[in-house]
Amino acid sequence: AQKVTQAQTEISVVEKEDVTLDCVYETRDTTYYLFWYKQPPSGELVFLIRRNSFDEQNEISGRYSWNFQKSTSSFNFTITASQVVDSAVYFCALSDTFSGGYNKLIFGAGTRLAVHP
Amino acid sequence: GAVVSQHPSWVICKSGTSVKIECRSLDFQATTMFWYRQFPKQSLMLMATSNEGSKATYEQGVEKDKFLINHASLTLSTLTVTSAHPEDSSFYICSARRSGTTKETQYFGPGTRLLVL
């Protein structure tokens, strides 16, 4: 079955600390997509990254970086030098052909990140 | 960019009334739209997949007679919560898949908070 596990329910850090949010997924498919979304207090989901299963290159975008490892079915997200504005709930999501004909997104439970000044 | 709007952003209603939520893709055509529900401090759960011109596909456990979905055009899908009750109070989020793109591209609306008294 398809599943996304975000074991960290809440993380609290002090500004400028680095923080890694873990995401472990399960899928029977060989072709799938992984996503990270940010949900600030306003509630609107902000798209951060999409990665397909054939691209295991790590990616860096400013203070954000992602580590995709198929061998461990993990797609972890690191924020370097965290800032108060990074405080939000972060969701990891999976989309594969077994989710249905329209590639439904399966979300993890989310990790609430609190960055304190 | 691809913008999805939702209206209203907030709605408070009395128990037993029906509430209609609109989801619009503002600058693109969306063959498929998705409706999610998010309870406080929980993840997003897919309720149904809506396709233009056809009946919606509901997820297991979602009552199709209670949550009516209409996708009459390529830019508009509506979710009607019929005979709403306090347990229907939640954050409802829609997303739209842009026509002609790869299946994994979904754009999210800002969400609608429903409070049933």
- For B5-17, what is each residue's pLDDT tens digit? 999 999 999 999 9
The pLDDT of residue A82: 97
Enter the tokens of residue A52.
């397909």
What value, to the nearest 5°, has the Cα angle with vertex B38 and ends B49 and A47?
Answer: 75
pLDDT of residue A57: 85
Tokens 């993840």, located at residue? B43
Residue A104 has pLDDT above 60, yes or no: yes
Give me the pLDDT at residue A103, please: 65
pLDDT at A25: 97
Q: Do B97 and A100 touch (CB under 8 A)?
A: no
Report the pLDDT value the prediction gives residue B22, as an integer from 0 to 100: 97
Smallest CA-to-CA distance from B14 within B84, B93, B70 is with: B84
* Amino acid B1: pLDDT: 67
Q: Contact B28/B98 with Cβ under 8 angstroms?
A: yes
Q: What pLDDT is attached to residue B106?
A: 81
| pLDDT tens digits for range B45-79 | 999 998 888 889 999 999 999 999 998 889 999 99
Backbone angles phi, psi at B93, to 5 degrees: -125, 135
Q: Are A104 and B34 a contacting pair at CB < 8 A?
A: yes
Length of chain B: 117
Contact residues, B window 8-27, toward A, CB-based 8 Å cutoff: none
| Cβ B84 vs Cβ B97: under 8 Å | no
Judged by phi (left if over 0) then psi (alpha if -120 to 50, else beta), residue B70 lies in: beta
pLDDT in tens, A46-70: 989 988 898 888 889 999 999 999 9
Q: Report d(CA B116, CA B18) in Å as an integer.
A: 10
As a whole number, mean pLDDT of residues B71-96 equals 94
**Number of neighbours of residue A107 by Cβ within 10 angstroms:** 21
Tally of helices (H runs) and strands (E runs) in chain B: 0, 11
Please report which confidence band the pLDDT of residue B105 belongs to, taking 50, 70 and 90 as the band edges: confident
Q: What b/e string do you get for A31-68 counting C-beta neighbours within 10 Å, with b at 16 or more?
A: ebbbbbbbbeeeebbeebbbbebeeeeeeeeeebbbbb
> CA B65, B66, B71 angle in degrees (round to 5)?
75
pLDDT value of position B8: 97
Asked if A105 is an interface residue toward chain B (Cβ–Cβ < 8 A), one would say yes
pLDDT above 80 (res A71): yes
Strand partners, B8: none
pLDDT given for residue A99 in this prediction: 54
Q: Token digits for B71? A: 């996708």
Contact criterion met (CB below 8 Å) for B6 and B68 = no
Nearest to A107 among B44, B109, B113 (CB): B44
- The yes-or-no verdict on residue B103 having pLDDT over 60 is no
pLDDT range class, residue A3, cuts 50, 70, 90: very high
Q: Is the pLDDT of residue A38 over 90?
A: yes
Q: Which residues from B are below 8 Å from A55, CB to CB?
A: none
Contact at CB, A102 and B113, closer than 8 angstroms: no
pLDDT for res B104: 61
**What is the DSSP annotation of chain A?**
--EEE---SEEEEETT--EEE--EEE-S-SSEEEEEEEE-TT---EEEEEEETT----EEETTEEEEEEGGGTEEEEEESS--GGG-EEEEEEEEEGGG-TT--EEE---EEEEEE-
